[in-house]
Amino acid sequence: MTATTQLAPQPEVAPRAFGLPFTLIDPEKQLEWVNGHAEVKEMAGARHSRIGVKLSARLDTFVEEHHLGAVYGPDATFTIGPRERIPDVSFVTAARIPPEGDPIGPWKIAPDLAVEIVSPNDLIEEVETKIREYFAAGVQQVWLVSPQLQTVSIYDALTKVTILQAGDELTSPALLPGFRCPVAALFQPIARN
């Protein structure tokens, strides 16, 4: 006996920024708005996620202990001009968080710090475009984490980049005074007994 299941049509969604309806092809995918079009943000994988969790945990612990603001993970959306971007990790200073706290929907501001973890399927042109957009929107610093090279590139401006390697410490004196994280700690293999 064969069972037949009828699938419900995909929901119509009106994008906040553009007011145009569209059908979600796969509602499980994350989307970023780029130049008025929804672009699928490809799923990055376990290694990418683990690096993001390690960095988020260290940042969040430090930020909470020093009452500096809030750290967000890869589900926080930021409206940057006509675009919506989803950094892998982000930080917003306490001074910029409204008294009522986090917004229910996307932030209407750029984060102070945006962290992008490079995925194997990322194109350099797309990564560079994101970095330019972040700075144009007012982001103070961008960290570009490369799992393949095991480096962290700190962008203080489009033309001011510091590349850190395994023996270096990740710091941000202007945004996160006192924060220190060994770069090697982000890329350590899983500990085993």
Residue-range domain boundaries for the chain: 46-186
Q: What is the mean pLDDT of residues 56-69?
A: 98
pLDDT of residue 10: 44
Query: In percent, how much of the chain has pLDDT > 90?
Result: 65
In this prediction, residue 16 carries a pLDDT of: 44
Mean pLDDT value across residues 118-144: 93
Q: Which residue has the tokens 């500096």?
A: 68
**pLDDT for 83:** 84
* CA nearest to 9, candidates 21, 25, 30: 25
What average pLDDT does the chain have?
84
pLDDT at 33: 54
- Could you count the other beta carbons within 10 Å of the beta carbon of residue 3? 4
Asked if pLDDT for residue 25 goes beyond 50, the answer is: no
Q: Give the alpha-carbon dihedral of 168, 173, 179, 185, to 10 degrees.
A: -20
How would residue 121 be classed by pLDDT, with cut points 50, 70 and 90? Answer: confident
Give the pLDDT mean for 34-52.
Answer: 72
Contact 183, 163 (CB under 8 A): no
Residue 156 banded pLDDT, cuts 50, 70, 90: very high
User: Average of pLDDT values for 17-45?
Assistant: 53
Cα→Cα distances 57→40, 52, 133, 174, Å: 26, 8, 26, 20
Dump pLDDT digits (tens) for 124-135. 999 999 999 999
The CATH code of domain 46-186 reads 3.90.1570.10
pTM of the model: 0.78
Q: pLDDT > 70: what percent of the chain?
A: 77
In sequence order, the β-bridge partners of residue 33 are 38, 84
